[in-house]
Amino acid sequence: MTPLYGLSGTRLPVHPQPLPDELLTHWFMRLAHMNQVKAQTLADRLFGRQSAFWARDQDKLASPAVISHLADMTGKNPDDLLALTLAPFEGVLYQHHNPNGNTRWIMPLGVYHRTRRRYGLQFCPLCLATDAEPYFRRSWRLAFATVCERHGVLMHDRCHRCGAPVAFFRRELGHRDDHRFEPAAKCHACGNDLSRAPAWDPSAGDVHALIQLRSLATFYDMGWTFCGNEVYQYGHTFMDVLHRMCNFLSSTKGKKLLAVAAGESRLVDMAVTSNGRDFESRPLIERHYLLLAALWLLMDWPDRFVQACILARTTQSRLLSDWEPPYWFESEVRKRLDRSGYTPTEEEAKHAAAYLERTQQRVSGKSVGQLIGNPDSMAATAYRKQKPRTMTEEEMERFFAGIDEAIRSKPKGSRARLLLERDRAIFWFIRLTGMSQRQVRTITVAEALALAKMGRLAGPGRSKLEGVVLSYLRDVRPALVKSRDNRILFLAANGSEMCAEALRQRFVGK
């Protein structure tokens, strides 16, 4: 090793013991200061000036070479030094640690050269104030640690005076000739004492959710966890669901469920931006709010969760899409929220379609399914838009002969006879013009007369159409019309415009 200011040998003369839950980078800074050198200087001497030690998130991605070299220089066990990093959270809070990218529950620092652009390190002001030597903990990098497990106060994720991220090692930068080593609990940007930040009581509605959050911050490393009366032997599966719920509640799809959870748990109303931002990158106060709502939902599993989803109309397909949930979560959601097993009858679907038409709502497989209790289906299996089959000339002759006979069987001037005469006019109009049912249902009197007189139909067809229209206008429509303002040609029995389902049924029944 290159001598450090007169020191020689292969091992540093002073090598402090790590403090409880201390971060590797904070221990490294203490190591440098106890050997009377700056942290940057020690990093340059140990790893070379091109190593860019502080230009990386060493707590997250310290390489085996870095750990091994530090162990050689201090006489420490490499495993003890690795325990100061964030890697041991693997298998406890998540399944796989990703040193080179985003990792669930680990807040990113936003490293740019030696600066920190994100608020990836939190702190408790009371911990810093009561420490014999203020230091920063590993657990303060965890996104769910919004409340100090020791003092019960809300954490901070930035300087309360200037708003700068915490970067304790930068306090000594830019002072080449100053070899005084100030406490780490000083803001590198403005020099403010972070231990004097206000100690705020955490906001909470249902106190049980806050207790659950504090328990989570305290017992996260046990390998198992609990929520309400439920015990989860594999703690990371519960943490997977909690993480998913925090992201879901902050999304556009989950905002209704968040509103239900916040209202039922009496949380103070707060706007959460649905901008696709990862949970770990959100401000502390947003993370705290989302965690309380998510934990409240998961307590008393699964009854409270299911009832909230029903109130918010949150479907199982939205909850389970795009991820592989643990069995304990997926099985209950599918059992309690999946209604796809219900198959509506054809009669139910037809009535639902008719209702949507009457209320002037869009008729589709999805809307019919939602109305009859099958909201997760993109189409109600019993609902089909039935189109009339093109009849042959022989079938057409038999059809008109049949309707003429039915008309003759009804008393003149009766409502039943008028409606049959209207139907005959409709069928002739469609046959002679080739229009669709929708077009015929909405055509006006003026448009029909103009069409009959424009000569668009050749010879006998034109004269037949004109006769059908004039006969209907003279003998049938005056008995059905209720308002002079109604200019629609073909009217329903109540004098209004015919609905699509009623017209469709006329064709289906023939």
The Cα 354–Cα 348 span in angstroms is 10
- Would you write out the chain's pLDDT as a tens digit for each of its 510 residues? 445 544 445 789 998 999 999 999 999 999 999 998 888 889 988 988 767 888 889 999 888 999 999 999 999 999 999 999 999 998 888 878 887 778 999 999 988 777 788 999 999 999 999 999 999 999 999 999 999 999 999 999 999 999 999 999 888 765 555 556 777 899 988 999 999 999 999 977 888 899 889 888 887 777 667 676 667 766 788 899 999 999 999 999 999 999 999 989 988 878 888 777 899 999 999 999 999 999 999 998 999 999 899 888 899 999 998 898 998 899 999 988 876 554 555 655 666 666 566 556 777 766 766 655 555 444 445 554 444 455 667 777 888 888 888 888 888 888 888 888 998 888 888 888 878 787 888 888 888 888 877 644 444 455 688 888 888 989 998 888 887 778 889 888 887 888 776 676 666 544
Cα–Cα distance measured from residue 17 to residue 132, given in angstroms and rounded to the nearest whole number: 14
Burial 43-79 (b: 16+ CB within 10 A, else e): bbbbbeeeeebbebbbbbbbeeebbeebbebbebeee
Distance, CA of 67 to CA of 58 (rounded, Å):
10
Return the closest-CA partner of residue 424 out of 410, 403, 438, 408.
403
Task: Please tell me whether the overall predicted TM-score, pTM, comes out greater than 0.95 for this model.
Answer: no
How many angstroms separate the CA atoms of 321 and 253, rounded? 12
Query: Which residues make beta-bridge pairs with 497?
Result: 491
Q: Tell me how crowded residue 413 is: count the other CB atoms within 10 A of its CB.
A: 8
Q: How many CB atoms lie within 10 A of CB 287?
A: 24
